[in-house]
Structure 1
Amino acid sequence: MQNRVKKQTRILAIDYGERRIGLAVSDPLGITAQGLETLSVSCPQDALSKIEQLVKTFRVSEIILGLPVNMDGTRGCRAQEVSGFAERLGKRTGLSVTLSDERLTSVAAHRILHRMGLKIKDKKRDVDRIAAQMLLQDYLEKYSNRGGRDAR
């Protein structure tokens, strides 16, 4: 008898900052986003290796990468750097990397952490992870309103 259980995959979201990379992953059904760890960006190659490892561990099928767009909608130097990282990440993992406007996700993450009463040291560690989680949750909700992940 053939196994008819469909393998469920996840989406990985990345908030690529100057010093840290925040990570979040969806549940297998694509309903909720859970924050993962925050990586140091001291060496982008090490970050790529760690992300590649997470892709395998969580059976990720798609990657969402926050694109730092200016408030007027233009793309600056930072957006070009992130686009280059997206290209390298796609080649390394063999997965589609979708760039998603991340305007104000870090600001919103700071507000959440402030309301939680965390110290500045703790906020720095957590803000990128929470920004990635918010980016992913927004993405999941956007597509769940269009008939789920298969609608993409």
Structure 2
Amino acid sequence: MIKPRILGLDIGDRTIGVAVSDPFGWTAQGVTTIKRSDLPKDLEELGKIVEEYKVTKMVVGIPKNMNGTFGPQAEKVRELVKEIVKQITIETVEWDERLSTKMAERSLIEGDMRRNKRKKVIDTVAAVCILQGYLDYQQHHRE
């Protein structure tokens, strides 16, 4: 059964890593890294992706502290998410993204990717890690 697509976001101060689920909701696939400039332009780019992939849900990585609390960066991400859902009406899920960037970097290093190339894709791969974690959780808890 083909399911509506889910968007995964890794939001940083300078970039937003973007991933989407496959049509069956099994795997996360990297789409792009949005270079943040100003809010209206960032929202426009996200809106185009939501439209193109017919996304019905957004999973946003929240960078919690290691003790599970919300620090300043997590609060900044949550504020941006509020702005996103004002413009793009979409179901939103917050997902604990602790160590997702480290996991993404480790997989790129293991894949023998050079440092300068890793910088270009790290946020997209982190978004894939966030979304794949969510998809795996959903699959496991459905059975």
Supply the distance in 2 between the matched residues of 1:109 and 1:44 (Cα, whole angstroms).
Answer: 26
Computing the radius of gyration from Cα coordinates, the structure with the larger value is: 1
Please name the residue that 1:10 is paired with.
5
Please name the residue that 1:129 is paired with.
124
Q: Stretches of 4+ moved more than 6 A in 1? A: none
1:90 aligned to which of 85, 93, 97: 85
Supply the distance in 2 between the matched residues of 1:75 and 1:115 (Cα, whole angstroms).
Answer: 31
Sequence identity percentage: 34
Please name the residue that 1:146 is paired with.
141
Q: Retained in 1: the 8 A contact 2:3–2:25?
A: no
2:68 aligned to which of 53, 65, 73: 73
Q: C-alpha root-mean-square deviation of aligned residues, in Å?
A: 1.5
Q: Retained in 2: the 8 A contact 1:89–1:97?
A: no
Secondary structure in 2 aligned to 1:146? helix
TM-score by length of 2: 0.94
Q: For residues 108-127 of structure 1, give each alpha carbon's deviation from its aligned partner in whole angstroms, at most 9, with x where no partner exists.
A: 11111111222222111111
Task: In structure 1, list runs of 5 or more residues that go unmatched.
Answer: 1-5
Q: Retained in 1: the 8 A contact 2:9–2:127?
A: yes
Residue 7 of structure 1 and its aligned partner are, at CA, apart by 7.2
Supply the distance in 2 between the matched residues of 1:63 and 1:52 (Cα, whole angstroms).
Answer: 12
Aligned residues: 143
TM-score by length of 1: 0.89
Please name the residue that 2:27 is paired with.
32
Task: In structure 2, list runs of 5 or more residues that go unmatched.
Answer: none
